[in-house]
Structure 1
Amino acid sequence: MGGLVGLGRRGALALGAAMALAACTAPAQRTGGNEVRTDSEPLERRFAALGPLSDTHWLGVVLGTDSRVSVPGPADVRVVGFARLRAGGVAAIVGAPRRGFEPATPSRPPEGLVQFMPKSARWVRSESFDRRMTGGTYSGAFSFDPGADRVYFDTTNPRAVSSSGP
């Protein structure tokens, strides 16, 4: 650890964040400079209320790294992608009382994920559900396609929230 002394606290935190992201080796496809990940376990930990996930395609993008003069410090990570819920999973979430799901077009996915966006999806979204999922501790939007049991998630710094649930 003697080599970290010159980094200072912020530098050590930035190095730790970079190492944590690098340690998340998983099945991936190289697309447009980003690794499209296909493992579901990290998503299931963060979005436990969605239940078991399959057919996942997602990115973990470190934000604010496009500047040559960026200040060392903790990095924000955008976790965005698609997954399939168990059969009937979306119907159970969307059908919950007082959620107020309405038709909504999700934000455009990053270039590496565009090919995985279902062409005929009929997306719905609920700000109430988003707040429940994030527990107010991170930003995130969850759009669902009830016809295909699919979710599109676009979050920043997602983490497991004890109060999450539909």
Structure 2
Amino acid sequence: MGTFAGLGRRGVLTLGAATVLGACTSTAQGTDANTVRTDSEPLERRFTALGPLSKAHWLGVVLGTDSRVSVPGPRDVRVVGFAQLRAGNVALITGAPQRGFLPATPSQLPEALAQFMPKSARWVRSESFDRAVTGGTYSGAFYVDPDANWVCFDTTNPSTAASSSQ
């Protein structure tokens, strides 16, 4: 107890309680990783370049919670899922010649989202468009299906102020 001698008994107990609370919090966050959300408002605030969204199915997964030894503090959050864009928005997005959309396939999506993946989707992606949506402040990939107006997004720590216009 030499290291904690200056804390006193109350200080050591408080530190112990904080450690236990932190461990419980990270475990609770880990169990919510499979709760699929359907609200589109948080997505619309973060991905303004996509415009209005509907039929959203997405997850906010706290990364790095698979360890039993974790320190309370900031965490990376993966926001991943699907949503339908307003009719015509994909054509506006993919029609910009500087974007250079190419066929691509989303990879390593969480199993909880598999049933919501649009059937027969023909995904395309543009790194230029990814940068436009993220504003270069967080990582993210945005796949769109021009035929059915779907978007698949896979981001880490998306911020509300980062998104820019098309």
Give the drift of 1:116: 0.7
Q: Give the alignment's Cα RMSD to 1 decimal.
A: 2.5
Letter matched to residue 43 of structure 2: L
Distance 2:105 2:158 in 1: 21
Determine if contact 2:57/2:82 at 8 Å carries over to the other structure. Answer: yes
1:101 aligned residue = 101
What SS does the corresponding residue of 1:65 show, helix, strand or coil?
coil
What SS does the corresponding residue of 2:70 show, helix, strand or coil?
coil
Distance 1:122 1:42 in 2: 26
1:152 aligned residue = 152
1:3 aligned residue = none
Bigger radius of gyration among the two: 2
Distance 1:163 1:60 in 2: 18
Distance 2:65 2:87 in 1: 38
Asked if 1:142 is matched to 2:142, the reply is yes
Gaps spanning 5+ residues in structure 2: where? 1-13
Determine if contact 1:140/1:156 at 8 Å carries over to the other structure. Answer: yes
Larger relative helix fraction: 2
Distance 2:80 2:110 in 1: 8
Pairing 1:1-166 to 2, within 5 Å after superposition: 6=14, 34-161=34-161, 164-166=164-166
1:24 aligned residue = none
Distance 1:70 1:162 in 2: 29
Letter matched to residue 116 of structure 1: F
What SS does the corresponding residue of 1:36 show, helix, strand or coil?
coil
Determine if contact 2:60/2:78 at 8 Å carries over to the other structure. Answer: yes
Structure 1: which 4+ aligned runs deviate by more than 4 Å? none
Distance 1:33 1:160, change over 3 A: closer
- In the alignment of these two chains, the number of paired residues is 145
Distance 1:139 1:151 in 2: 16
Gaps spanning 5+ residues in structure 1: where? 1-5, 22-29
In terms of mean alpha carbon deviation, does 155-164 or 87-96 score higher? 155-164
Distance 1:33 1:102, change over 3 A: closer
Give the drift of 1:70: 1.7
Larger relative strand fraction: 1
Determine if contact 2:63/2:78 at 8 Å carries over to the other structure. Answer: yes
Determine if contact 2:84/2:149 at 8 Å carries over to the other structure. Answer: yes
Give the drift of 1:163: 5.5
- Percent identity between matched residues is 72
Letter matched to residue 44 of structure 1: E
Give the drift of 1:162: 5.1
What do the CA deviations read for 1:86-132 (whole angstroms, capped 9, x no partner)? 00111110111200100011113101001111220100000011111
